[in-house]
Structure 1
Amino acid sequence: MERRKFLKGAALGAGATALATPALAQGGKTMTIVSTWPRDFPGLGISAQRLAARIGQLSDGALNVEYFAAGERVGAFDSFDEVASGNAQAYIAADYYWTGKHPGFAYFTSVPFGMSTPEWNAWIRFGGGQQLWDEVSGEFGLKAFACGSTGTQAGGWFNKEIESADDLKGLKMRMPGLGGQVLSKLGASTVSLPGSQIYENLVSGAIDATEWVGPYNDYFMKFYEAAKFYYTAGMHEPGGGLAMGMNASWWGGLSDYEKAIIEAACVEEHAYAHDETIAKNGEYLTKLVDEQGVQVRSFNDDVWDSFGEAAAEVFEETRDHSELAARINDDFQAKLREMGNMMAQFEIGYVNQRNRVLGLGE
């Protein structure tokens, strides 16, 4: 089946509706948004379209929003340069796609053994994370806000079981960001592919494994046609957020009202996307197992320990990149330990005991 038609049909099958670009009003400022997600893409793509539509709706004509999905104006990974150059006003993406520009961008999506979504939200909004994000984005003429979250992502799809770090050697896997660098340390060959290209590469054998998001998003990608082993919680993307990155010069020319509209829409969609994913993940994990015969697995402690050792090396190399990269890493790690200690005693402590009493996760 032709890929675009499949994705559109999958989205509609999930109960989603195609979100049209708002009609242009007269007299407002143009806001052209490009995205790294295909149109009507279940989960991520629909979230981006919803955000674009919401900005236009809230602005009541002050902002004329034009939305272009991946490939409609520029390629997915060309979105950064399109906005930094001023050819478009904003992108919606995962900022860890831009680690080739600066490794600090990874911390503003997610990093190995990093913060869960609640922790990351707290760091961005109340712990100085936004200021550091402004600093690294500002080096490229950008201003960014969080605009979506998928929670803790799955460890990925594999065509064999992973019982030790040795099973990763020679494995060809799609995994962007610092997580991909961790796997490379363990002997895997990693690539960063846009979402629209993963399925064909997995089915053809060009890659042996892939991570994407989680059960809700992954169900529609049909990765189970080529890989039956689906691993739960991954080290590479425990939480964090997606980004709306805007051209800083354009942003600076907006009124306070226009800025407030964009920021409010981003905050709204950030929460909406996360809640939608959590609500649907359980349903679609059941579908993957019952309908498609997917075999759910979890990485054992030895594999996790290998991930941890490799991650420590990656963080040191990231710190060596620049003074700014070191400051971002060090602030992130310090806040992670501060909040993580509290979370372990309160949030996680409660969830573990609740699940034990109710017999959940067995």
Structure 2
Amino acid sequence: MSTRRSFLTGAAVATGTAALGSAHIYAQEPKKITWRLQTYAGPALGEHVIKPSIDAFNQAANGAMEIKLYYADQLVPTGELFRAMQRGTIDAVQSDDDSIAAPVDISVFGGYFPFATRHSLDVPALFHQYGLNEIWAEAYGEVKGVTWLGSGAWDPCNFATVEPIRSLDDLKGKRIFTFPTAGKFLTRFGVIPVTLPWEDVEVALQTRELDGIAWSGITEDYTVGWANVTKYFLTNNISGAWIGSYFANSDKWNEVPEHLKTLFKLCMDSSHYYRQHWYWGGEAKLRVEGSKLELTSIPAEQWQTVENEAQKFWDEIAKTSPRCARVVEIFKQYNALMAKAGAPYR
């Protein structure tokens, strides 16, 4: 009886200890982190510019974190994305600074700042070797609630139009869907910038609410269906590459453990890399083999007028803040060096 009583007492103590141990282990298990991330891109474009990297992140996070991806305007209109992220309505954003109305002086350089870049590799070179990383981090460090995570290069900015553009005069009066800063610059040549929800652009081209777009290169025109409702592609571009960034709500970013932050940044880099070769190869291939858009060009001597006007535009923007002046000076130094380097740089 004594032996049986000792066994039952010991078993009860062991069971209680095990239960407490299990409860302790359960309490220590980290809660799964779930984010909502909205991109500037519609679904067809998003399949290339972000979805593969988010799928890879979710798989590699192994259940510790999941990012739910939303496309252009699905949760919030693109122009309201920054404020929504700041409030915590959404957790992260992929876009240029310009389109989401980021409340920083350097947002004017996001998207397509005219002729600041000529090739896609210019963007990472400028950010990683010429100091733009530090300037962007400085600017967003002054904004409460949002953390800028990094930038990469995306496609050039060409016109795709319903009617052919073969001279500067042909731009006059054209209603064009484009980015805020690019639109402001193009008004100097008679362009009428039009703002629409991304998903409405194709119909607006069909109904002639729009005469064209200056929102991408030819790869996106084919990918998203705009090549089906336009007829001409202007080979002259106003920018060789877009500056696209990733942002996160600061509180949500701070809750992410360091190893998952590292994983997310690696997936950002994989997305930047994919776009480098997807656009570079696609732009050339579709110019040569694409059957939907006829190529047109504005003569070089006329186009030089546009490039000269861009330099005036740069100087005007430089006067808006000391930080903008620093960015413009970097653009000038970088492009002067590239010109001296010659082919294949310029």
TM over 0.5: yes
Partner of residue 32 from structure 2, selected from 28, 32, 37: 28
- Are 1:119 and 1:336, in contact at CA under 8 Å, matched by a contact in 2? no
- Are 1:28 and 1:62, in contact at CA under 8 Å, matched by a contact in 2? yes
What residue in structure 2 maps to residue 196 of structure 1?
199
- Are 1:147 and 1:269, in contact at CA under 8 Å, matched by a contact in 2? no
Q: What is the alpha-carbon distance in structure 1 between the residues aligned to residue 111 and residue 60 of structure 2? A: 26
What residue in structure 2 maps to residue 327 of structure 1?
326
Consecutive unaligned residues in structure 2, runs of 5 or more? 1-28
Alignment partner of 1:176 is 2:164: no
What residue in structure 2 maps to residue 211 of structure 1?
214
Q: Deviations over 1:85-132 (max 9, x none)?
A: 222221011223145744522434442111222121111122211111
Deviation (angstroms), 1:286? 4.5
Q: 1:132-171 alignment to 2 at 5 Å? A: 132-141=135-144, 142-146=146-150, 149-153=153-157, 155-171=158-174
Partner of residue 260 from structure 1, selected from 226, 249, 262: 262
What residue in structure 2 maps to residue 304 of structure 1?
303
Q: Deviations over 1:314-341 (max 9, x none)?
A: 2223223222222222223323323443
TM-score for both structures, normalised by structure 1: 0.78
Deviation (angstroms), 1:147? 5.9
Alignment partner of 1:295 is 2:267: no
Q: 1:277-292 alignment to 2 at 5 Å? A: 277-286=279-288, 288-289=290-291, 292=292
State the AA in 2 paired with 1:123: L
- Cα gap change, 1:246 to 1:127, in 2 (>3 Å): same
What residue in structure 2 maps to residue 127 of structure 1?
130
State the AA in 1 paired with 2:249: N
Equivalenced residues, count: 316
Deviation (angstroms), 1:287? 5.0
Q: Deviations over 1:289-321 (max 9, x none)?
A: 3xx3x3211221233122123322322232232
Instruction: Report the secondary structure of 2:295's partner residue.
Output: strand
Identity %: 17
TM-score for both structures, normalised by structure 2: 0.81
- Are 2:111 and 2:179, in contact at CA under 8 Å, matched by a contact in 1? no
Q: Deviations over 1:28-52 (max 9, x none)?
A: 322221122223x13x443222222
Deviation (angstroms), 1:209? 1.7
- Are 2:133 and 2:150, in contact at CA under 8 Å, matched by a contact in 1? no
Q: What is the alpha-carbon distance in structure 1 between the residues aligned to residue 95 and residue 262 of structure 2? A: 21
Q: What is the alpha-carbon distance in structure 2 between the residues aligned to residue 299 and residue 146 of structure 1? A: 35
Deviating more after overlay: 156-165 vs 96-105: 96-105
Deviation (angstroms), 1:225? 4.7
- Cα gap change, 1:136 to 1:174, in 2 (>3 Å): same
- Cα gap change, 1:103 to 1:228, in 2 (>3 Å): farther
Deviating more after overlay: 101-110 vs 205-214: 101-110
Instruction: Report the secondary structure of 1:95's partner residue.
Output: coil
Q: What is the alpha-carbon distance in structure 1 between the residues aligned to residue 251 and residue 169 of structure 2? A: 49
Deviation (angstroms), 1:196? 1.8
- Cα gap change, 1:144 to 1:286, in 2 (>3 Å): same
State the AA in 1 paired with 2:31: G
Deviating more after overlay: 175-184 vs 248-257: 248-257
Q: Deviations over 1:41-75 (max 9, x none)?
A: 13x44322222222222323332212222233222
What residue in structure 1 maps to residue 275 of structure 2?
273
What residue in structure 2 maps to residue 4 of structure 1?
none
- Are 1:121 and 1:240, in contact at CA under 8 Å, matched by a contact in 2? no
- Are 1:83 and 1:90, in contact at CA under 8 Å, matched by a contact in 2? yes
State the AA in 2 paired with 1:57: Q
- Are 2:81 and 2:100, in contact at CA under 8 Å, matched by a contact in 1? no
Consecutive unaligned residues in structure 1, runs of 5 or more? 1-24, 350-362
What residue in structure 2 maps to residue 69 of structure 1?
71
- Cα gap change, 1:131 to 1:65, in 2 (>3 Å): same
Q: What is the alpha-carbon distance in structure 2 between the residues aligned to residue 303 and residue 74 of structure 1? A: 40
Instruction: Report the secondary structure of 2:99's partner residue.
Output: helix
Larger Rg: 2
CA RMSD after TM alignment: 2.6
What residue in structure 2 maps to residue 228 of structure 1?
231
Partner of residue 83 from structure 2, selected from 74, 81, 84: 81
- Are 1:146 and 1:267, in contact at CA under 8 Å, matched by a contact in 2? no
- Cα gap change, 1:100 to 1:56, in 2 (>3 Å): closer
- Cα gap change, 1:201 to 1:26, in 2 (>3 Å): farther
- Cα gap change, 1:336 to 1:316, in 2 (>3 Å): same
Instruction: Report the secondary structure of 2:59's partner residue.
Output: helix
- Are 1:173 and 1:188, in contact at CA under 8 Å, matched by a contact in 2? yes
Instruction: Report the secondary structure of 1:117's partner residue.
Output: coil
- Are 2:232 and 2:294, in contact at CA under 8 Å, matched by a contact in 1? yes
